[in-house]
Amino acid sequence: MPDGFPEYARRPDASLDLVEGALLIAREAYPNLDLPRYRAKLDKLGEEARRGLPARATPVAVVDALNEFLFGRAGFRGNNEDYYDPRNSFINEVLDRRLGIPITLSILYCAVARRVGLPAAGVGFPGRYLVKCRAGRRDLIVDCFDGRILERRDCQKLLDSMYGGRLKLSDEMLAVSGPRETLARVLNNLKGVYFGRREFDRAGRFVDLSEGLLPGLPEHSRDRGMVHLGLEQFGKALELLERYLRLAPKAPDAPTVRRHVKMTRTLLCHLN
């Protein structure tokens, strides 16, 4: 295992292990994290799940049994009570507390599924990360936050509940998401959580990790600018926010960023 997440992020896509990446993200918040211990926890869950499989189980029966095990007997569930608790985004805390958000519960699900021989991969569905399991000749979509299998009509209902009927389900929405894209989404969640808590130094660390994972994206300048703005480092904030607007002048959030730029210029004028 590499020394840290920045080293991991520089590896080729084909060598990226999702659980390894999630553990290394967690180690940013828990520097003394015992990584082998949490891999052993996943191994134990896999062993327990395997013992509960029916004899000569069909792939569909394996999915049903795995769901019953993880979301029933093992007690994993979505944290509806405190969705934006940062612990929900750290895989060690999810394993310890049996609470998480869709993406971390999905990472856990895929790891256990592989240990019982079930092909499973994450799906970067809009607003709710899901899992796709290969069950014989068809795919089954699992919502790990609610612990249930979704039919296509359920996926559309989920979209409607989050986007008010503005999005129509497409096959692209159910495409498999690779480790790099998945971990970028984990980091994005953590950035948002720490921005919301006004913990700008911590938010900045996850901006750094995001840039190492997916370098060159304009939004890194925006996010760094917002970190500096929160830390009242107005000159640097203005430089980065203006860079973002040059790189992405038609971005959906460009009007909001322009307001931040105007406010930051005003603050600098008063300070000077």
pLDDT tens profile 87-104: 999 999 999 999 999 999
Distance CA 102, CA 146 (A): 8
Could you tell me how many residues make up the chain? 272
Per-residue confidence band for 272, with pLDDT thresholds at 50, 70 and 90: low
Q: Does 154 score more than 70 pLDDT?
A: yes
Distance CA 135, CA 149 (A): 12
Domains of the chain: 5-174 (3.10.620), 216-271 (no CATH)
Q: Would you state the pLDDT for residue 206?
A: 97
Contact 19, 111 (CB under 8 A): yes
Token representation of residue 158: 């989920």
Distance set, CA 216 to CA 213, 221, 244, 247 (Å) = 10, 9, 11, 10
Token representation of residue 117: 């021989």
Distance CA 145, CA 138 (A): 22
Predicted TM-score of the model (pTM): 0.94
What residues contact residue 100 under an 8 Å CB cut-off, 6+ apart?
A: 76, 78, 79, 88, 89, 93, 94, 108, 144, 145
Contact 67, 149 (CB under 8 A): yes
Q: Can you tell me whether residue 126 is helix, strand or coil?
A: coil
What residues contact residue 265 under an 8 Å CB cut-off, 6+ apart?
A: 238
Token representation of residue 162: 């989050």
Q: Does 3 score more than 80 pLDDT?
A: no
Closest CA to 54 of 147, 107, 116, 136: 116
106 vs 137: which has the higher pLDDT: 106
The pLDDT tens digits of the residues spanning 33-90 come to 999 999 999 999 999 999 988 888 788 889 999 999 999 999 999 999 999 999 999 9
Q: Does 246 score more than 90 pLDDT?
A: yes
Q: What is the DSSP letter of 172?
A: G
What's the rounded mean pLDDT across residues 219-242? 97
